[in-house]
Structure 1
Amino acid sequence: MADEGDSSVPRSALRWRLSHRILGVNAIILLVLALALLFLDSFRNQLRDEREAQTRHLAELAATAVPKIAAADVPRLFADMGQTTGARVRLYGADGALQQDSWRDAEPTYRLRDPTTQAWTKAFARTLDRAFNAVVGEKSPPDFAEPAVDRATAWPEAVGAFRTGRTQGAVRSAPDLTPVLSAATRTADQRIVLVTANDRNFTRTVRQERTKLAAGLLAAALFSLLLSLFLARTIARPLRRLALAAHRVRQGRAREVRVPRFTKRKDEIGLLARAVSDMSQALRQRIDNIEAFAADVTHELKNPLASLRSAVDGLDRIEDPALRRQLLDVVRQDVVRLDRLIGDIGEAARTDAELARAAFEPVDLGKLVGQICAGWEERRLTGDVRIAFARPRAASAIVMGEPARLARAIDNLIDNAISFSPAGSLVEVAVARVAEEVLIRIDDEGPGVPPQVREAIFNRFVSVRPDGDDFGRHSGLGLAIARAIVKGHDGEIDVADRDDAPSGARFTIRLPAVAGEVTA
């Protein structure tokens, strides 16, 4: 079978549980994406604020200069400012009429692009722009269009600047989704300076940063893919091995199926592997026990049946009444023996299953053993054998268990001691707590148990009796049932010679005591 190992690893010992790994892989790419979006949105807002501030500053410079220079120098000033900054500078009179435009005396500093004439890559970039705005919740600015009649009243920012005397700005969107920044301010002589600029560099810079972040996201996605492959290797592949091993166990075609234990793994996969391995070993052991038990039952049933058949066949041929009575006695003994054997076989077959389903409760072994001993006295089945019970201190011998099963194990040991005791002898039963255990000791004055068979007598259908003793009373299952019950309660049972008498056997049951009880 598989390697030995402890499958009962506490939760505190689990390092990098599977949930941590899965969440970690999913969180990495999501975290990188969130950080990228936050960074790009913050970068774009900061850059836009800077560009708006520059446009406002340019409008304020022009508004400060206009009243201080001659009217003939204004066109040249506006043309130079426009060519230097790439903006369009206009001057409106107090009545709102256009007085000066930087594009009259110089080439236009920007042109609004028609998106239908641009390459598909620009259309794709604009789609990404819209998607990004939707993700971060950015509202689309209004569309930019030159007014049909260019007057100050056609520009809301110019109207606001004239009324308040403070610089007013606005951001609009060109047909190709590049921003058009505008700023208007009032001059000292109550005129309005308006600056507009199609800041294509703003869009180009933002898209460049977005490309860099996309490359980072691609790297993060590749890293996430590698982590996913790692998870597939550390999760999916081991689970597949476990599934195949479990399938082979279910088919039962091979007697020994190697189930991987993954002893170095301290996560849920390791726990599952060791649990499945232990389960398969327990299943195989139980199957072996069932096969051995079936073979033993078949063998044990044949002996009394053969004796019964021989006696029944002899009844037809024998006329002597005395011999017929002897044969009838043999028949009765064999029937009693079969009845006891069948009952013990059923008890042995149910013991493991009943213990697995039993709900343990606190059991006072002092009271329980006292009731069993009193029951033997009341039934008067001990013959000339007396029973003496050394009662423990009250509430000092408490164990967790199933009372009926414990009573069955103790009753089997007392029955065994009585059956091996000579007439007039004494069977001593004692219960005591020693340290963290409760001990049940059963002493008889019989011939004892030879050392070489002390372990074998706890096997099924094994009974070692002196020559001449009546075998019919026992099936050889009583001690086996007792040991199974004690083992099911995490206890131990053994036999040794008595150290306080010339002869006799001493059976001792050790069970874990309930914590906190008084030591006897």
Structure 2
Amino acid sequence: MFNYLLKNLSILKKFLFINLIFFSILGLFTFLYLKIVQPNLIKNKSSNHIKIINNTIDNLERLEIQFNEEDIRKFLFSTRFIFQSLDRVIFFDNQLDLVGDTDTLDLDPRSFSSRLDIVELEVLNEEKSKEITEKKNINIGNDNLVSLQDILFNYAGSKNFGIPFTFTQEEFNNFKLTTIKNVFRNDVNIGYVAITENANDIRAAIDERKTFVIRTAFAVGIVILIFSFVLNRYFLKPIQNLVAYTNKIKNKEHKKINIDNLKVRNDELGLLSKSLDDMTLELQKRISHAENFSTDLVHEIRNPLASLKSASEILSETKETDERLKLINILSHDVQRIERLITDYSQILKDEVALSKEKFRKIDLIPIIKSVVDDYNNIYQSKRGITISFSNDGNKNYQINGIENRIEQIIANLLDNAISFSEDNKTIDIKISQNSKKQIIINIFDEGPGFKEKDTSKIFKRFYSNRPDKFGQHSGLGLNIVKNLTDLHNASINALNRTDKRGANLEIIFSRA
């Protein structure tokens, strides 16, 4: 269910939802932590109370102090320094009557009083003894005393009787902590000791932790909101624009989204936008190329098909043997032409698929060219007496980044083209050199008729062929394939006429690796 819910949310909503879950869990643990902290703080204080109570009981036992006002008064007076760190220590007898209270102990000390509204105190002076009667109003909090007596009464009848018992009292401005314990003497309960301390520091510690948690949560919330804004503004919206851009392309909508503002970014999204736009342009270019190629192929096939149709119609009506042989030759020629066009077209498609899988690497042109030259010499020297020579300018570094078998294909296609225009017993020269820009130049010179075209760039167009005497024997795709492969290698190819003699010069310029 959780995965299904997240799956249907946007990235921003997922981020906010996950942070909400995180905050909820953190809030729960914080609540539990605060619930645990207060009892621990109370426990630490009550432990101190218990130590003092046990110490006080030991002193009462040792001094054999009776639980009456006189003895407790003298005990408190003689041991007042023990209780100076405490807010209040109260003594009750076994009838739950108040017999002593440190609230009535003056620290100068001049007098000690009990809970009575009129207090009598006898003080022994070092110089002389005299009786001093002093009236003093004492505010001990009657409501708290009644509450304490009720608790003592319940404590006396509970199963916890005999062990220390701690409870708290919360008022508007005060948080009091009280620990009580009964006093046994000869296995008989003779009274109770209670320590009451103002524990506002516990409340302050809890409030401080709460404030810290709230401030931290508020700060983290602000950070998350700022991060959400940045995430949405600088990441999610650009991604949405890219998604919309791809959908427009997929649906072939004329109105396209402009992502130029994304391409100028120098981060990963900028690189992604550039890559996506380049990929889209490349795909559109390939689609346009395929459509144009198919159109041209259909156009080229239509002519021999029309010729086939006409020849076949005339053949059925012609009875003369010579005419029928001419028509049959036309039919055979047109069929071969169609077959050649389809074969070359199929080869181009296969090459394009192979090119998408092949990788560029650093290659040396010398052994590649020598291998192709040797193969062609073995074929055409004995067949037509055509010799292919290879030379270089003496430089030893002819390395480029390319695909080896595609370089072989370029050289082979250019040699095929040169041989098709050459007469028997002629020479074709291949020269490799380096220019002033340290570019690698390959020249293929033949001794054919040269180029009659003023614009020699048209010879690299698909299905272009200027062979009146050999019409139909070539598909016109060989040089177009060479042009595509040189473009693939970021190289250029030029068609020139030789300046030293009759013939053509095809020049390829590669960048050095």
- The TM-score range, normalised by the shorter chain, is 0.5 to 0.7
Greater CA deviation, 370-379 or 394-403? 394-403
Match of 2:459 in 1: 457
Match of 2:204 in 1: 205
Kindly indicate which of the two structures has a greater share of residues assigned to strand.
Answer: 2
* Deviation for aligned residue 1:56: 10
Q: 1:81 to 1:400 in 2, by over 3 A?
A: same
* Deviation for aligned residue 1:263: 2.3
Match of 1:305 in 2: 305
Q: Does 1:291 align with 2:291?
A: yes
Alpha carbons 1:362, 1:401 under 8 Å: kept: yes
Q: Percent identity?
A: 23
Cα deviation digits, residues 366-422 of structure 1 (max 9, x gap): 222222222223333873543212268798444454433332222111111222335
Q: 1:198 to 1:464 in 2, by over 3 A?
A: farther
- CA distance in structure 1 between the aligned counterparts of 2:153 and 2:353, rounded to whole angstroms: 88
Q: 1:264 to 1:380 in 2, by over 3 A?
A: closer
- CA distance in structure 1 between the aligned counterparts of 2:157 and 2:197, rounded to whole angstroms: 20
* Deviation for aligned residue 1:355: 0.2
Q: 1:308 to 1:180 in 2, by over 3 A?
A: same
- CA distance in structure 2 between the aligned counterparts of 1:145 and 1:219, rounded to whole angstroms: 50
- CA distance in structure 1 between the aligned counterparts of 2:264 and 2:493, rounded to whole angstroms: 37
Residue 443 of structure 1 aligns with an amino acid whose one-letter code is F
* Deviation for aligned residue 1:299: 0.6
Match of 2:445 in 1: 443
- CA distance in structure 2 between the aligned counterparts of 1:446 and 1:403, rounded to whole angstroms: 28
- CA distance in structure 2 between the aligned counterparts of 1:430 and 1:451, rounded to whole angstroms: 24
For 2:233, what is the secondary structure of its paired residue? Answer: helix
Match of 1:121 in 2: none
Cα deviation digits, residues 86-145 of structure 1 (max 9, x gap): 4334599xxxxx99642873446957999xxxxxxxxxxxxxxxxxxxxxxxxxxxxx99
Alpha carbons 2:386, 2:427 under 8 Å: kept: yes
Alpha carbons 2:166, 2:180 under 8 Å: kept: no
Cα deviation digits, residues 436-476 of structure 1 (max 9, x gap): 754432122334446753333222222345xx442223211
Q: Does 1:505 align with 2:513?
A: no
Match of 2:88 in 1: 87
Q: 1:197 to 1:408 in 2, by over 3 A?
A: same
Equivalenced residues, count: 433
Alpha carbons 1:180, 1:197 under 8 Å: kept: yes
Q: Which has the larger radius of gyration?
A: 2
Greater CA deviation, 502-511 or 302-311? 502-511
Gaps of 5+ in 2: 1-10, 64-69, 103-113, 116-139, 182-191
What is the TM-score when the length of structure 2 is the normalising length? Answer: 0.65
Match of 1:405 in 2: 406
Aligned pairs for 1:28-427 within 5 A: 73-74=73-74, 86-90=87-91, 101-102=100-101, 105=115, 106-107=140-141, 148=156, 154=162, 174=168, 180=177, 196-216=195-215, 217-254=217-254, 257-258=256-257, 260-261=259-260, 262-360=262-360, 363-380=363-380, 383=384, 385-390=386-391, 396-427=397-428
* Deviation for aligned residue 1:478: 0.8
Q: 1:181 to 1:400 in 2, by over 3 A?
A: farther
Residue 313 of structure 1 aligns with an amino acid whose one-letter code is E
What is the TM-score when the length of structure 1 is the normalising length? Answer: 0.64
Alpha carbons 1:497, 1:503 under 8 Å: kept: no
Cα deviation digits, residues 295-329 of structure 1 (max 9, x gap): 10111111222223333333334444444333333
- CA distance in structure 2 between the aligned counterparts of 1:440 and 1:100, rounded to whole angstroms: 121
Q: 1:326 to 1:361 in 2, by over 3 A?
A: same
Alpha carbons 1:91, 1:101 under 8 Å: kept: yes
* Deviation for aligned residue 1:183: 11
For 1:502, what is the secondary structure of its paired residue? Answer: coil
Alpha carbons 1:88, 1:109 under 8 Å: kept: no
Alpha carbons 2:486, 2:493 under 8 Å: kept: no
Match of 2:126 in 1: none
Alpha carbons 1:433, 1:439 under 8 Å: kept: yes
Highest relative contact order (Cα 8 Å, sep 6+), 1 or 2?
1
Gaps of 5+ in 1: 1-17, 93-97, 115-143, 157-170, 185-192, 515-520
Residue 156 of structure 2 aligns with an amino acid whose one-letter code is A
Q: 1:331 to 1:278 in 2, by over 3 A?
A: same
* Deviation for aligned residue 1:288: 1.1
Match of 2:137 in 1: none
Match of 2:128 in 1: none
- CA distance in structure 1 between the aligned counterparts of 2:472 and 2:338, rounded to whole angstroms: 9
